[in-house]
Amino acid sequence: MIHNFFFLLFSFSMLFNAAPLNASAYDNDVLDIFSKLMPRFILMSSSKNGLQDKIEICVLHDKIDERAALSLIDKIDSNYPSGIKNYKIKVLNSNYSHIDVCQNSQLTFMFDSGDKNIDKAVKYSNEHTIFTMSYDPKYLEKGVNASLFLGRKVTPYVNMNALRKSGIELDNVLIRISKIYLNEDGQ
């Protein structure tokens, strides 16, 4: 009887604690900041030159981060229900294995993933001249164009070398307010 009680207690404990062990933790406030800034990054880059009537943002994630991706998409939709500056905003939701969905996007947002997925997404985005942004600034090292620096204040964090490689230019105003990423050899 006691053995069954402990087994049942252990089972419930595992059941209620299993989800947090597998999911990556994304801060809701940080996702809100990204949702407000992504369309503005497009408008402050050479990516705006190819715009017709809409801005297309592609959100890439692993299956485990589906809920966070949907939350980010909802935030973009609620922050820009009518679009921005006469451009409607279309947000695509995709996992890393279907990156070709992003082909016509102006910006690809990357949730955390393995190095192989990040490298593939950066390469694909560079080939299609798509601005890249990641939740985690550590991916600047992998060639992502931008992220956010979260210090006393939130600052755009841009990788100038990656921007050059991708063929995307930023407005000088954005460069002036940004923290510039320097790789290990100072470039």
Whole-Å CA distances, 35 to 40, 80, 181: 10, 9, 22
**Fold for domain 27-180?**
Rossmann fold (3.40.50)
Q: Which of 14-23, 39-48, 159-168 has the lowest mean pLDDT?
A: 14-23
Q: What is the pLDDT of residue 25?
A: 87
CA–CA separation, 9 and 79 (whole Å): 44
Can you tell me whether residue 184 is helix, strand or coil? coil
The edge-to-edge listing of strands for the beta sheet with 146-150 is 88-95, 54-61, 107-110, 131-134, 146-150, 154-158, 179-180
φ, ψ at 124 (rounded to 5°): -60, -45
> pLDDT confidence of 12, banded at 50, 70, 90?
very low
Q: Distance between alpha carbon 61 and the CA centroid of its chain, in Å?
A: 8
DSSP one-letter string for 11-61: HHHHHHHHHHHHSPP--HHHHHHHHHHHHHHHHTBGGGGG-SSEEEEEEEE
Q: Quick one: tokens of 168? A: 């995307």
pLDDT digits 0-9 by tens, 142-160? 999 999 999 899 999 999 9
pTM: 0.84
Q: Distance between alpha carbon 123 and the CA centroid of its chain, in Å?
A: 15
Q: Which of 19-23, 139-143, 175-179 has the lowest mean pLDDT?
A: 19-23
Does residue 183 have a pLDDT over 50?
yes
The letter for the amino acid at 93 is: N
